[in-house]
Amino acid sequence: MGVLNNLIPFSLIFWGQTQIASGLATILNATTPLFTLVVAHLLTRDERMNGAKVAALLAGFAGVTVLVGPDFLLGDRAGFWGQLACLGAALSYAFAGVYGRRFQTMGVAPMQAAAGQVTASAILILPIMLMVDRPWTLPALPSASIWAALAGLALLSTALAYVLYFRILAAAGATNLLLVTFLIPVIAIPLGATVLGERLELHHFAGMALIGLGLAAIDGRIAARLRAAK
């Protein structure tokens, strides 16, 4: 879980956001449930795909094509590889969600699973951090803003988030758990625009709409309402 849910996706998203806007990165991260559909179908017996989920998958990946296509066709290779890195992170999250289901049957508490995962990923990434960041070259006394950023990432975005992650995973399953990723762009896009001055293009919002349609179909409520209307 440390590799699949932290080491790989955090590294890919971090690098990807050096090439693309944060809002676009969060839209691509919202494809995680679509990848989870495929992974869960192949690796589990109780989260299999049906007709509605296949339609959701097609709509979602049509959205990804709309998002990624222009950069690839126009020759923006940095943007293309940055988007591909964020998609790779979403795929890694999908495998983590399915793999993490086993902790419930093993009797591992959510707090224990979260602590083990984060501790393992910290140990695994330590040699990479030493080679890339070379902390001995950084200021001995980081600024208050750096401490605040570390506290926010460590306590809210990681520690608290993963305790909730394993609780919801045990109760709702991998696919339903990872639907939460579609809420991230709703928060990140306005933040990116106001704090970082980022701006998304029309095709980014069109792609997000298709991905949102696919995620809504996964949830099953649209199909249930259509059946009720008949």
Cβ–Cβ contacts within 10 Å for residue 141, how many?
7
Host domain of residue 80: 2-108+174-229
Q: Is residue 134 domain-resident? A: no
Q: Would you put residue 75 in left (φ > 0), alpha (ψ -120 to 50) or beta?
A: left
pLDDT tens, position by position, 115-149:
888 899 999 999 988 998 888 888 888 889 889 98
pLDDT tens, position by position, 60-82:
778 777 777 666 556 667 788 88
**Out of 7-16, 25-34, 173-182, which region has the weakest mean confidence (pLDDT)?**
173-182
Is there a contact between 14 and 82 (Cβ–Cβ < 8 Å)? Answer: no
Average pLDDT of the chain is: 82
Q: Looking at the 3D structure of the chain, how many domains does it have? A: 1
Q: Is residue 115 domain-resident? A: no
Q: Is residue 119 domain-resident? A: no
Q: Is residue 19 domain-resident? A: yes
99: Cβ contacts below 8 Å, ≥ 6 apart: 1, 4
pLDDT tens, position by position, 151-197:
988 888 888 888 888 888 777 776 666 667 767 776 777 888 888 88
Q: Is residue 49 domain-resident? A: yes
Cβ–Cβ contacts within 10 Å for residue 3, how many?
17
pLDDT tens, position by position, 45-64:
877 877 777 887 788 778 77
Q: Is residue 117 domain-resident? A: no
Query: Span 207-224, mean pLDDT?
Result: 71
